[in-house]
Amino acid sequence: MAAAGMALGGVVVFLLGVAARAQTQHQVKPPDDPRGVFEQAQRALASGDYPAAERGFRKVLQLDPGSAAAYVNLGVVYMRTVRFDDAIRTFQTAKKLDPQMVGIDLNLGLVYYRKQDFAQAIPHFARVLAADPGNTQAHHLKGMCHFLLDEYEPAVEALEPILPQEQDDLDFLYILGICYGKLKRVEDSSRTFAQLVRAGGDTPHLHLLLGKAYLDLYDNSKAREELDQAAAGDPKLPYVHFNLGVLFQRLGMLDEAAAEFDKEIAISPREPWSYENRGTLWLDKGDSDRALPLFREALSLNPKMPLSLAGIGKAYVRQSKPEEAIPYLERAVELQPDSANLHYQLGQAYLKANRKSDAQREMAEAGRLQTEAREKQEARISGKLPPPEAPLP
């Protein structure tokens, strides 16, 4: 269940003004009239003709370089055509030209969200809510960003105010219920999951959501019960067998896990995660030759999967090919720089390739990250200790 796949719509698109809309259809506009060019580009954007919309808004900016509305709509074109960095720069230009224009922060937050840069998205949604506390979309997206960053308290703060409007949204209830569970708010979690059952009815999709929620909360018994019901109700429901595979993998039932991942691959051959997990199982069994094509298939579907990159690197190290392993492990570290395990694996590859100084650097970074993670875990369990009292004179 890719929670990050719950991105909301609602891109804010700006029109030039009432005066332009009041003109009659028969009025002929000069070919270099920025208002007429803007309206044509606006129609192209609305119809999904993004090349024509881009040409039109660029023409407007040639005629009127100070048009914040043209920059905003050009940013929307970039966002919808997955040119996220261009969209961000364009929205930022619009914001400089007209800091008070409603909706630019919502669009900036949304493009960062779709780029999966959740930390950068949050301040933009916060600014939207400061100006418009009742903005449901900003509440939802801000809460999702915090959830995807494992920041459960601020996620709840963002999501709770819109619960009355979202009480029939199964995915919303699923996220909020998990947040409550992570915060040990058992009554709130139970109430939210009960609402999820009422809203969803006795359907395989509902049991999948509940199973995934219990899996995230490490309640393995309830997770298996719900996922088994989902699989029984619809054996071809996407993600059911993947989550069962993850559960069996966690429980050490590796043959059962492998069978579930194989089922998921047959049902959802364009999803990379089952290939990655199946490859990991072969790697754990010491069969690098069978693991490698599965990791490669995962990366062909999504090139930004650090564990698949690391899996290829680890397989090559086991085959005594550290030089071939290093580029994959370097890329994995680049994608997930806060992983102590990935730094350690890269250090091992450097060591086997006789690159001792590089190996020492990566091992040191792995040690630093492990210490940092341990300190954070201790703080979560026991809370931060007060500073020691000053000794008596």
What percent of the chain clears pLDDT 70, i.e. is strictly above it?
88
Question: What is the CB neighbour count within 10 angstroms for residue 59?
Answer: 18
d(CA 342, CA 382): 28
pLDDT in tens, 31-87: 578 889 999 999 999 999 999 999 999 999 999 999 999 999 999 999 999 999 999
Output the CA torsion 6→10→12→17 (10° steps): 170
pTM here is 0.70
Q: Quick one: CA torsion of 129, 131, 133, 138, rounded to 10 degrees? A: -30
* Residue 328 contacts residue 309 (beta carbons within 8 Å): yes
Question: Each residue of 108-144: pLDDT tens digit?
Answer: 999 999 998 999 999 999 999 999 999 999 999 999 9
In this model, does residue 267 exceed pLDDT 70? yes
Section 261-282 average pLDDT: 96
